[in-house]
Structure 1
Amino acid sequence: MMYTTAALRRIVLIDIENIVGGGVSLPGQVHGAQAAIAEAIGQRDNDHVVVACGRFCVNVVGFEWAGPRRLVFRGGNNGADLELLDILETERVGDRFDEVVVVSGDGIFADVVSFLGLGTDVTVVSRPESCSRRLRMAAKYVLDLDYDPSVITEAA
Structure 2
Amino acid sequence: MTTTEHLTAPAARRGRALHLVDLENLVGSGSPTPEQARATWTAYRTLVQPGDLVVVACSHHAARTVWFVVGTDARLLVRSGADGADLALLDDVDLPHLVSRFTWLVVASGDHAFVPLVEEARRLGVRTWQVTGVGRPARALLRTAQIRSRLRPTTAASLALAA
Q: What range is the shorter-chain TM-score in?
A: 0.7 to 0.9
TM-score normalised by the chain length of structure 2: 0.78
Please name the residue that 1:111 is paired with: 116
Please name the residue that 2:79 is paired with: 74
Q: Which runs of 5+ in 2 are unaligned?
A: 1-11
Contact kept in structure 1, 2:17 and 2:103, CA below 8 Å: yes
Q: Which runs of 5+ in 1 are unaligned?
A: none
Please name the residue that 1:99 is paired with: 104
State the alpha-carbon separation in 2 of the partners of residues 72 and 121 from structure 1: 24
Higher relative contact order (CA 8 A, sep 6+): 2
State the alpha-carbon separation in 1 of the partners of residues 81 and 147 from structure 2: 30
Number of aligned residue pairs: 147
Please name the residue that 1:23 is paired with: 30
TM-score normalised by the chain length of structure 1: 0.81
Q: Of 51, 55, 62, which aligns to 2:56?
A: 51
Change (3 A) 1:59 1:101: same
The more displaced of 125-134 and 102-111 is 125-134
Contact kept in structure 1, 2:18 and 2:104, CA below 8 Å: yes
Give me the identity figure in percent: 31
Please name the residue that 1:61 is paired with: 66
Change (3 A) 1:6 1:20: closer
